[in-house]
């Protein structure tokens, strides 16, 4: 059946800047906010915007994502006509290739889109946290009779060099686009949210595919080509919370943004619920000796210790006499007795033994490889930390580096 | 998957001892354990046994039940073959649509029973909460060749003034064969109480019900089991895990508070067989700067900035700064405003307690505030 608009979600890559958190799953499946995975945000935005057909493009470990999405019922995306589909690369009788770029991923799945004969296609990234009504953006797109609309956010000028910057004229029409400019001309940062007229985009992608020099990328190829050809491309100004959670630092920050009164990011919004796969766990239990303040706690948690300014995910446990501060504790992670944890991300199913200290200043002369983490201590998924271990801030602990820990600290 | 048994849950009974909690709902639809309703336990036990065909007899006020169950998808019972069948009353020439007792109800759903392809029927009540699978009782039923197997546990507690559907089992020397049954006895002859689960061959069930119905029988236990205890081979299957019987406000309060002790919670919230319920997509619960929470079971979507002790807090409850809540049950959507003080109270759904109010019940006499009330 014909659809007005279909969403293509670039769930993409390994997310190498998230390090050990993505060693067995794609970035969009990384936990967020106590109950969610990153991908719940674009999916819920779609459903809340009445978009009922979503293709999820991925070529990195699709199993976890596939298992997570299932039939789409948790997002109300189990539809007779439409729904959510995981679209990995595939072979044909002639050839088959990996997705060579963001545009190529869409191009290889043109048959998926063609079956809905959509007027518009909405293209999203799978690693951003935000709440957005795409119907407003679509209205803006049609009211402007645009060929393409790109959502932009005003960022502080001094940070503009980290983003793709859209330079616009006084009518909001995009005149040029610069990827991470050294000297930005404006602060309209692209949010990685595009609406295209499908037929037009299809033509551009076909030509782009025929160009052996192209990297088949929206930012590098498709958008510049359309601009050069004089297509009408407009910037849709978005106001509200938006965060790229592609790094350990930003993932930690975005979780912290949920704390405080009122929080920077308010998820308690009945008109804009974020849907997620429910873990089917009992209510959480706060023990007589527990002391929890300024934190998020969810189903399946058991708290017997002190928890401050922390996000506990489903099934997380904090045992007695332990103190957990400014941290993010992923699903089913367990923190033993008499531990001290400060400014850390504890991976899924990690088991922290008794008397462990995490996130304390490194000893004199001790060096820590913190290129990915800054001052955040990161414990990988499924890692078991032996009792009594001391882990300095910024350290990354995986099953492989556990051995080094026993020998007196993590070497750079 | 279990292809040899199907489930039939009877939720039609009225229970006067539940007072304000059942003004607009069946006991089966009463919220229990922080995020569940009583019915979730029986349904999940069946589903966790691999049973994929479940009939649910509803009678009065079944709107809240239908709203809760939907298509059965949260219990994975939205199936093409079998699945969840909601069986409301309907009036025909020889059916008034009002059940005098469970035999009437069973008679009126006999079409569904006959059409079910499975051999054994697991008959469940809706006043009892526990978390187990029925694999072992089915196995025993098959192996002993019993006509009827009743699940029971040992429960020394006895509240004669609130006695309700109290079925006691007295055994032969073998400890398994039922010698005598007692129904709401004044002086119970044993502490072995039925858990409202009865395994019976489908064909036998049909014969027994239709025969009794034709002679004006009303109650399955009183008019079928009791008189036929010698004629039929009735066996018991003992369950040693936690069992809660929601017979009255007092037992409701008592069993709710028992969830604060580790062994009951461990049994009832056993994650090896999870209890399924309708999902509401709330956010995680928020503990504020002034939260002071001890010994509390709390569901998602709550915002707590006050003091809470020894309490059960359902989904979406707000407890403002300075409020003190002790020994209480706060159901979904309750708001306790600044400085209010609660002790031994049950607040039904969406009750609001205004700032500074003091509400105190006593042990054994909890104060109950009905749905949507503002105090």
Residue B328 token pair: 């209480």
| Contact (CB, 8 A) for A37 and A22 | no
CA of A150 to nearest chain B CA: how many angstroms apart? 30
What is the nearest CA distance from A379 to chain B, expressed in angstroms? 23
* Beta-strand pair B358-360/B341-343: parallel
Work out the burial of residue B142: count CB atoms within 10 Å of its CB; fewer than 13 is exposed, 13-18 middle, 19 or more buried: middle
- A295 — contact with chain B (CB < 8 Å)? yes
Q: Considering only CB atoms, which chain A residues are within 8 Å of B331? A: none
> What distance in Å separates the CA atoms of residue B230 and residue B175, rounded to the nearest whole number?
16
**Positive or negative torsion for Cα B67, B72, B73, B79:** negative
Q: What SS3 class is residue B236?
A: strand
Å between A295 CA and nearest CA of chain B: 5
Q: Which of B283, B301, B325, B333 is the best residue to mutate to test the A interface, defined by the most A CB atoms within 10 Å of its own CB?
A: B283
Q: Report the percentage of chain B scoring pLDDT > 90.
A: 76
Partner residue opposite A288 with nearest CB, options B265, B268, B294: B294
Q: What is the mean pLDDT of chain B?
A: 92
**What pLDDT sits at residue A17?**
62
pLDDT exceeds cutoff 60 at B130: yes
Q: Which of B73, B283, B291 sits opposite A267 (nearest CB)?
A: B283
Cis before A262? omega within 30: yes
Residues from chain A that touch B289, judged by Cβ atoms under 8 A, are: 261, 293-294
How many residues are listed for chain A in this entry? 412
Instruction: Kindly report, residue by residue over B42-73, the tens digit of the pLDDT.
Output: 999 999 999 999 999 988 778 888 889 988 98
**Per-residue pLDDT, A399:** 78
How many angstroms away from the CA of A271 is the closest CA of chain B?
A: 12
Instruction: Verify whether the Cβ–Cβ distance A73 to B33 is below 8 Å.
Output: no
Q: The tokens 């645009």 sit on which residue? A: A146
Tell which of A281, A286, A315, A349 to mutate to test the B interface (max B CBs under 10 Å).
Answer: A286
Residues of B in contact with A267 (CB under 8 A): 283
Size of interface A-B (CB pairs under 8 A): 100
d(C-alpha B203, C-alpha A351), whole Å:
52
Residues of A in contact with B283 (CB under 8 A): 33-35, 267-268, 274, 296
Contact between B197 and B236 under an 8 Å Cβ cutoff? The reply is: no
Tell me whether A31 touches chain B (CB under 8 Å): no
Give the span between the Cα atoms of A49 and A44, in whole angstroms: 8
Are A345 and A377 in contact by the 8 Å Cβ rule? The answer is: yes
Query: What is the tens place of the pLDDT at every residue in A257-293?
Result: 999 888 999 998 889 999 999 889 999 999 999 999 9
In terms of CA atoms, which chain A residue is nearest residue B260? A285
| Mutation for A interface: B79, B257, B285, most A CBs within 10 A | B285
A35 reaches B (C-beta below 8 A): yes
Kindly tell me the burial class for residue A21, based on how many C-beta atoms sit within 10 Å of its own C-beta (0-12, 13-18, 19 or more).
buried
Chain A: closest CA distance from residue B230 (Å): 43
Spell out a b/e string for A316-325, using b for 16 or more CB atoms within 10 Å of the CB, else e: bbbbeebbbb
Is residue B195 within a helix (H) or strand (E), and if so which, with residue range? strand B192-201
Check if A300 contacts B (Cβ < 8 Å): yes
Question: Which residues make beta-bridge pairs with A87?
Answer: A57
**Residues B294, A280: C-beta atoms closer than 8 Å:** no
The tokens describing B210, both together, are 């239709």
Q: B299 contacts in A (CB within 8 Å)?
A: 283-284, 299
B171 pLDDT above the threshold of 90: yes
Nearest alpha carbon to residue A22 among A368, A381, A329, A345 = A381
Give the nearest chain A residue to B286 (CA atoms). Answer: A296
- Confidence check: pLDDT of B364 > 70: yes
pLDDT tens digits along B184-241 = 999 999 999 999 999 999 999 999 999 999 999 999 999 999 999 999 999 999 999 9
Answer whether A287 sits within 8 Å of B295, measured CB to CB: yes
In this prediction, residue A411 carries a pLDDT of 45
Among B34, B283, B292, the residue with its CB nearest the CB of A268 is B283
User: Which H or E element spans position B135?
Assistant: helix B135-144
**B271–A282 CB contact, under 8 Å:** yes
A311 Cα to chain B: minimum distance (Å): 9
Contact of B194 with B148, CB cutoff 8 Å: no
**Identity of the residue in B274, B284, B292 whose CB atom sits nearest the CB atom of A296:** B284
pLDDT < 70: residue spans in chain A: 12-26, 403-412
Q: What is the pLDDT of residues A173-223, one digit of tens each?
A: 999 988 888 988 999 999 999 999 999 999 999 999 999 898 888 888 999
Q: What is the CA radius of gyration of chain A?
A: 23
Residues of B at the A interface, defined by Cβ within 8 angstroms: 33-35, 73, 265, 268-269, 271, 274-276, 279, 281-301, 303, 313
Task: Give whole-number Cα distances, A45 to A49, A67, A234, in Å.
Answer: 6, 21, 21
Which among A273, A295, A300 has the least Cβ separation from residue B281?
A273
Q: What is the pTM of this model?
A: 0.91
Which residue, among A265, A270, A278, A283, would best test binding to B if mutated, counting the most B CBs under 10 Å from its CB?
Answer: A283
Count how many Cα atoms sit within 13 Å of the Cα of residue B125 in the half-sphere of its side chain.
29
How far does the CA of residue A125 sit from the closest CA of chain B (Å)? 23
Q: Report CB contact under 8 Å: A73, B73.
A: yes
* A293 to B291: CB separation less than 8 angstroms, yes or no: yes
Question: Alpha-carbon distance B298 to A166, whole Å?
Answer: 47
User: A224 — phi, psi (to 5°)?
Assistant: -60, -40
Left (φ > 0), alpha (ψ -120 to 50) or beta: where does A140 sit? alpha
Contact B271 A281 (CB under 8 A): yes
Residue whose structure tokens are 């504790």: A329
CA distances from A235 to A102, A141, A200, B102, B131 (A): 20, 9, 18, 66, 56
Shortest Cα distance, chain B CAs vs residue A331, angstroms: 13
Classify each residue of A391-406 as buried b or exposed e, where b means 16 or more C-beta atoms within 10 Å of its C-beta: bbbbbbbbeebbeebe
Contacts of A282 in chain B (CB under 8 A): 33-35, 265, 268-269, 271, 275, 297
């Amino acid at each position: 059946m014909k659809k007005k608009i279909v969403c293509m979600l670039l769930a993409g890559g390994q997310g190498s800047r998230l390090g050990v958190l993505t060693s067995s799953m794609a970035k969009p499946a990384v936990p967020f906010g106590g109950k969610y995975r990153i991908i719940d945000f674009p999916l819920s935005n779609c459903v809340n915007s009445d978009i009922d057909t979503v293709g999820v493009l991925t070529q990195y470990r699709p199993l976890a994502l596939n298992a997570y999405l299932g039939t789409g019922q948790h997002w109300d995306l189990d539809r007779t006509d439409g729904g959510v589909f995981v679209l990995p690369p595939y072979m044909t009788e002639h050839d088959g290739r990996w997705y060579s770029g963001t545009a190529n991923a869409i191009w290889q799945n043109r048959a998926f889109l063609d079956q809905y004969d959509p007027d518009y296609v909405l293209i999203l990234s799978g690693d951003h946290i935000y709440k957005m009504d795409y119907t407003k953006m679509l209205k803006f797109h049609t009211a402007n009779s645009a060929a393409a609309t790109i959502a932009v956010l005003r960022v502080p000028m001094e940070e503009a060099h980290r983003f793709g910057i859209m330079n616009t004229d006084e009518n909001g029409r995009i005149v040029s686009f610069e990827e991470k400019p050294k000297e930005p001309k404006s602060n309209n940062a692209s949010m990685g949210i595009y609406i295209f007229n499908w037929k037009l985009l299809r033509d551009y992608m076909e030509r782009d595919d025929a160009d052996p020099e192209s990297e088949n990328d929206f930012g590098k190829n498709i958008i510049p080509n359309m601009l050069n050809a004089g297509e009408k491309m407009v910037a849709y100004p978005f106001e509200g919370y938006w965060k790229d959670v592609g790094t350990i630092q930003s993932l930690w920050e975005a979780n912290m943004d949920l704390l405080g009164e009122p929080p920077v990011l308010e998820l308690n919004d009945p008109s804009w619920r974020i849907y997620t796969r429910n873990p089917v766990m009992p209510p959480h239990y706060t023990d007589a000796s527990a002391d929890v303040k300024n934190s998020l706690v969810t189903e399946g948690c058991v708290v017997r210790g002190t928890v401050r300014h922390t996000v506990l995910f489903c099934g997380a446990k904090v045992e007695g006499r332990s103190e957990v501060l400014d941290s993010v504790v992923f699903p089913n992670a367990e923190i033993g007795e008499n531990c001290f944890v400060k400014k850390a991300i504890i991976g899924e199913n990690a088991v922290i033994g008794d008397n462990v200290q995490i996130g304390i200043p490194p000893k004199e002369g001790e060096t820590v490889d913190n290129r990915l983490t800054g001052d955040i201590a990161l414990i990988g998924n499924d890692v078991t930390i032996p009792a009594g271990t001391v882990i300095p801030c910024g350290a990354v602990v995986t099953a492989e580096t556990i051995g080094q820990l026993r020998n007196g600290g993590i070497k750079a | 998957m279990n292809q040899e048994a199907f489930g039939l849950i009877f939720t039609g009974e009225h229970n006067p001892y539940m007072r304000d909690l059942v003004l607009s709902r069946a006991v089966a639809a009463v919220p229990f354990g922080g995020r569940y309703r009583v019915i979730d336990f029986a349904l999940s036990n069946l589903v966790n046994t691999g049973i994929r065909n479940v009939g649910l007899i509803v009678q009065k006020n079944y709107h809240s039940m239908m709203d809760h169950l939907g298509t059965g998808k949260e219990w994975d019972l939205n199936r093409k073959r079998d699945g969840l069948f909601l069986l409301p009353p309907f009036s025909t020439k020889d059916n008034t649509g009002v059940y005098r007792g469970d035999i009437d109800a069973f008679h009126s759903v006999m079409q569904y029973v006959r059409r079910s392809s499975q051999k054994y029927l697991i008959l469940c009540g809706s006043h009892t909460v526990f978390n187990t699978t029925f694999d072992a009782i089915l196995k025993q039923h098959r192996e002993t060749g019993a006509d009827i197997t009743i699940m029971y546990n040992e429960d020394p507690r006895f509240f004669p003034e609130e006695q309700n559907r109290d079925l006691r089992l007295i055994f032969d020397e073998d400890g398994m064969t039922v010698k005598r049954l007692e129904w709401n006895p004044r002086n119970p002859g044993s502490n072995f109480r039925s858990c409202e689960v009865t395994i019976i061959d489908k064909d036998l069930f049909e014969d027994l019900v239709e025969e009794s119905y034709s002679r004006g029988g009303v109650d399955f236990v009183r008019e079928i089991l009791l008189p036929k205890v010698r004629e039929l081979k009735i066996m018991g299957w003992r369950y040693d895990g936690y069992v809660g019987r929601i017979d009255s406000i007092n037992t409701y309060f008592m069993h709710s508070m028992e969830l604060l002790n580790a062994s009951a919670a461990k049994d009832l919230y056993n994650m090896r067989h999870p209890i399924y319920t309708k999902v509401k997509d709330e956010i995680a619960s928020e503990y504020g700067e002034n939260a002071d929470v001890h010994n509390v079971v709390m569901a998602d979507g709550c915002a707590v900035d006050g003091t809470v002790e020894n309490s059960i807090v359902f989904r979406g409850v707000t407890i403002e700064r300075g409020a003190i809540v002790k020994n209480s049950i706060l159901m979904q959507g309750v708001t306790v405003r600044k400085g209010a003080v609660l002790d031994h109270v049950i607040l039904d759904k969406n009750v609001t307690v205004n700032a500074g109010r003091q509400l105190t019940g006593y042990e054994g006499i909890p104060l109950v505030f009905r749905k949507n009330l503002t105090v």
